[in-house]
Structure 1
Amino acid sequence: MRVKLAYGRTGLEVPLPDNRTTVIEPPHLPEVEDPAGTLREAMREPVHGPPLRDLLRPGQTVAITMCDGTRPQPRHLMIPAVLAELAGTVSPCDVTIVVATGTHRGNTRAELAQMLGEELASSVRVVNHDARDPEQLVWMGQHGQAVPVWLNRHWVEADLRITTGYVEPHMFAGFTGGPKTVVPGLTGLDTALTLYSAERIADPQAAWGVCKGNPVYDDIRAVAAAVGNVDFSLDVLLNRDHQIVAAFGGSLFHAHSEARHAARELAMRPVRGEFDIVLTSNGGYPMDQNLYQCNKGLSAAAAIVKPGGTIICAAECRDGFPDHGDYRRILMSAPSPHELLADIESRRSAIADQWQAQVLAKVLIKARVIMRTDHLGAAELSKAHLESTDHLGDTIEALLAEYGPDARICVLPTGPQTIPYVVGRRRSSVR
């Protein structure tokens, strides 16, 4: 059999043995017939709370969030839909689109034009949130479990605040979208580092699809409830081609609750037992732009690989580790994954990108990891405790021979768009 992995923009085919391979994919739901109409209906007939138009007043300033370029949000559909609802009441010159970068780099002018379309990117004010720029941040006090909260000034000072995003399981925050769009999407670096501290991430409840009792999600919710000031939330669910299959609008927590229940049914799949080899992707472009983002695909695979097994991840990584931030340095700062994890968990002061290094270290302690990428060399991957291959078929054949005739392989062609879990283990709660 041949399976096509989501890889970059084009995909990557790999030969696999029929009798030893399990392929796990999300069900392919078709795109809604009328995406613009579906979005409009979500804003006019919300899950909870008043329609968006009922919140509008002439002369208001409006801030609208959108995801950054590492996320497959259909911004070219969602942002125009929101602007259409504002039309006639709110002046375009009073609208600011804030890119919820979290701790990521800002998007370039060319990237924004690609994400929104040239005409829209040129006609509306678009700003990148910068978690490291004190001039962009407003102190909002401590909330949740002693979380110091700095929040984006453009967001705080707007009269009306609207979030847009998409919902899928997240490896330690439970789910994306909803409150996570603001916290940590629009927070300062200190806030994000506290929310994603080594202690919180180490908690067993900080996991895919878990909200109740998850210390990361609990504080995201607490901070968003205290200071997020979200007036209206618009989230969508996407199929494996990144097309809209459902939309949820309304008050922040009610809309997100409905969306994540639907996302769990769409994305999470049971399997019977662990596998010797798990072949995954990171969902293709734009999600596989760098190794940092690949932790999602690796974490999904780690949930079902046997201890001592092998994870193979195919990801383009056109943006490298990436070059900005501390991720490369942290990964290469210790001689082994065990020492890397111990070093991270022993630190009292937060380090940028430490949580992603912590996630990868845990994966590496459980299983061998081999990368198939066009933009990172074997030498630099080795320094980060990762192996490399240029030939997936040959590598898989050799691994199957090594593990023996009873060895099984599982394939996640769309990576973290499908989150597998082993039947019999306690299932996640999305409440």
Structure 2
Amino acid sequence: MQFEFKFSKETVSFEIPEKNFYKELKPNKVEIGLTEQDEVKRSLKEPIASPRLKEIVKPGEKIFIITSDITRPMPSYKVLPCVLDEMKEAGVKEEDITVVLALGSHRSHTEAEKKTLVGEAVYNSKIKIIDSDMAQCINLGTCKNGTPVDIFEPVAKADRIICLGNVEYHYFAGYSGGAKALMPGVSSHAAIQANHSNMVKPEARTGNLETNPVRQDIDQITEFIKIDFIVNVVLNAKKEIIKAVSGHWKEAHREGCRFLDTMYGIEIEAPADIVVVTPGGFPKDINLYQSQKSLDNSKHAVKEGGVIVMLASAKEGFGEKTFEDWMRNKSPMEMIEEIKCNFKLGGHKAAAIASVIQKSDIYFVSDLDDELVRSINFIPFKTAQEAIDKALEKQGENAKILLMPAGGSTLPIVKK
């Protein structure tokens, strides 16, 4: 059986014996109704487990809208105008609205970036556009897991809080979106550290919500600070809005998660001996930092002691300095232990890769130097065919091979 996977701006071909073929995972086809701003407006008119936004906000209240920073794919410039129109119907003035760009522990934005994020019309209005500041937080309590509830002070003192975000799979919070706009979005360094240190626990995994310690903190934050309304969106591969959910912070978010699962969650009978995965070519495989998500998704499809064959150019190298330092200078166990007590952006992705290395061998077909690949505990191969043949040799002639041509956006779910 012949297959062709995207690799950088080209494709690579390989063959696998028919008797070894198990399954090829591709996004499910789902029925799409309205899209883009039409879908956002629909969701605002049909909120989930909540009154309409225009029935919640009142003139004269200090209203804070929390949305994502420049590192996230959330199209705030599309969603914000719809939300603002709804609030104007309630008589809310622009001077009483503040948009907070939730930085978490990321860097501040330039003014040009702020304009890009919120759109020119909103940027040039009387609405205040500010970055969150993890050094300007006040403590509201402590979560059951011991995580402090430290919230950006202006948000903590707001009359109304509206959270925007996009729902996609998150490799240790389960899913993005929902109350994640507050934790870690507008939280302190100490809170982010405590919350993210739980990422190494087995329950902190893609697609898991209720028993996930990272998500438990995120959701419990609402016991200390009220989220009045959310608007979350699901995007397709072209970053177009194909689903919007508005209303109650939890009920609407969970509806968004369920929709995501219908499209990208794919059930399998059992884990495979060998998984062949690609992020999907350029720009998703431009570096190892970007390619990590597909590797993390593939770990859910492979048996303990199996082989993941990863096809990713990564021609620009690691893509992030801390990530590179950890990958090149720490053992997998050192990365996992250090992230528990010293959470660092970049290091967290290295620790996630370390957990995959502990479960399976990673045969890596890339544009990187072989010695460099070996130094990060991957096994280098020049071609996909060579890697697959070697994996079959290791796993046995009856080994089952599962294929993931869209590794970053498909989540294998083993049937219970």
Distance in 2 of aligned mates of 1:181 and 1:318: 31
Q: Which residue of 2 aligns with 1:126?
A: 129
Q: Which amino acid aligns with 1:220?
A: I
Distance in 2 of aligned mates of 1:372 and 1:243: 31
Task: State the secondary structure of the residue aligned to 2:224.
Answer: helix
Distance in 2 of aligned mates of 1:32 and 1:25: 21
Distance in 1 of aligned mates of 2:153 and 2:207: 31
Are 2:29 and 2:263, in contact at CA under 8 Å, matched by a contact in 1?
Answer: no
Q: Which residue of 2 aligns with 1:360?
A: 353
Residue 261 of structure 1: how far off its partner (Å): 2.6
Q: Is the alpha carbon distance of 1:53 and 1:317 closer, same or farther for their aligned partners in structure 2, counting shifts above 3 Å?
A: farther
Distance in 1 of aligned mates of 2:405 and 2:252: 29
Task: State the secondary structure of the residue aligned to 1:248.
Answer: strand
Task: State the secondary structure of the residue aligned to 2:61.
Answer: coil
Distance in 1 of aligned mates of 2:411 and 2:276: 13
Are 1:168 and 1:267, in contact at CA under 8 Å, matched by a contact in 2?
Answer: no
Distance in 1 of aligned mates of 2:117 and 2:101: 11
Deviation track 1:300-351 (CA, whole Å, cap 9, x = no partner) reads: 111112314133052758694413xx433333342x324443x437x6x333
- Tell me, yes or no, if structure 1 residue 102 matches structure 2 residue 104: yes
Are 1:98 and 1:154, in contact at CA under 8 Å, matched by a contact in 2?
Answer: no
Instruction: Tell which deviates more after alignment, 87-96 or 278-287.
Output: 278-287
Sequence identity of aligned pairs in percent? Answer: 26
Q: Which residue of 2 aligns with 1:429?
A: none
Q: Which residue of 2 aligns with 1:257?
A: 254
Deviation track 1:364-412 (CA, whole Å, cap 9, x = no partner) reads: 12223355667x7666555433455675566546655665654443332
Distance in 2 of aligned mates of 1:183 and 1:41: 27
Residue 293 of structure 1: how far off its partner (Å): 5.1
Q: Which amino acid aligns with 2:195?
A: L
Distance in 2 of aligned mates of 1:3 and 1:111: 38
Q: Which residue of 2 aligns with 1:188?
A: 188
TM-score by length of 1: 0.81
Are 1:174 and 1:208, in contact at CA under 8 Å, matched by a contact in 2?
Answer: yes
Are 2:365 and 2:387, in contact at CA under 8 Å, matched by a contact in 1?
Answer: no
Distance in 2 of aligned mates of 1:274 and 1:385: 23
Distance in 1 of aligned mates of 2:251 and 2:411: 23
Q: Is the alpha carbon distance of 1:400 and 1:70 closer, same or farther for their aligned partners in structure 2, counting shifts above 3 Å?
A: farther
Q: Which residue of 2 aligns with 1:61?
A: 62
Residue 108 of structure 1: how far off its partner (Å): 4.5
Q: Which amino acid aligns with 1:137?
A: C
Q: Is the alpha carbon distance of 1:16 and 1:391 closer, same or farther for their aligned partners in structure 2, counting shifts above 3 Å?
A: closer
- Tell me, yes or no, if structure 1 residue 36 matches structure 2 residue 37: yes
Residue 37 of structure 1: how far off its partner (Å): 2.6
Distance in 2 of aligned mates of 1:92 and 1:372: 53
The match for 2:211 among 213, 216, 229 is 213
Distance in 2 of aligned mates of 1:68 and 1:289: 22
- Tell me, yes or no, if structure 1 residue 231 matches structure 2 residue 228: yes
Q: Is the alpha carbon distance of 1:314 and 1:70 closer, same or farther for their aligned partners in structure 2, counting shifts above 3 Å?
A: farther
Q: Name structure 1 gaps, 5 residues minimum.
A: 427-431
Are 1:62 and 1:160, in contact at CA under 8 Å, matched by a contact in 2?
Answer: yes
- Aligned ranges 1:305-344 → 2 under 5 Å: 305-306=302-303, 307-314=305-312, 320-323=318-321, 326-334=322-330, 336-341=331-336, 343-344=337-338
Distance in 1 of aligned mates of 2:111 and 2:317: 17
Residue 257 of structure 1: how far off its partner (Å): 2.4
Distance in 2 of aligned mates of 1:286 and 1:223: 35
Distance in 1 of aligned mates of 2:49 and 2:87: 19
Q: Which amino acid aligns with 1:359?
A: A
Q: Name structure 2 gaps, 5 residues minimum.
A: none
Are 1:194 and 1:350, in contact at CA under 8 Å, matched by a contact in 2?
Answer: no
Instruction: Tell which deviates more after alignment, 184-193 or 156-165.
Output: 156-165
Q: Which residue of 1 aligns with 2:166?
A: 166
Distance in 2 of aligned mates of 1:49 and 1:71: 27
Residue 68 of structure 1: how far off its partner (Å): 3.0
Task: State the secondary structure of the residue aligned to 2:66.
Answer: strand
Q: Which residue of 2 aligns with 1:153?
A: 153
- Tell me, yes or no, if structure 1 residue 27 matches structure 2 residue 28: yes
CA RMSD after TM alignment: 3.4
Distance in 2 of aligned mates of 1:219 and 1:143: 6
Distance in 1 of aligned mates of 2:264 and 2:302: 18
Residue 85 of structure 1: how far off its partner (Å): 1.7
Q: Which residue of 1 aligns with 2:241?
A: 244
Distance in 2 of aligned mates of 1:400 and 1:372: 16
Q: Is the alpha carbon distance of 1:100 and 1:295 closer, same or farther for their aligned partners in structure 2, counting shifts above 3 Å?
A: farther
Deviation track 1:73-121 (CA, whole Å, cap 9, x = no partner) reads: 2333212221222235333344333222323344545555554545545
Are 1:151 and 1:188, in contact at CA under 8 Å, matched by a contact in 2?
Answer: yes
Are 2:35 and 2:240, in contact at CA under 8 Å, matched by a contact in 1?
Answer: no
Are 1:280 and 1:412, in contact at CA under 8 Å, matched by a contact in 2?
Answer: yes
Distance in 2 of aligned mates of 1:187 and 1:16: 47
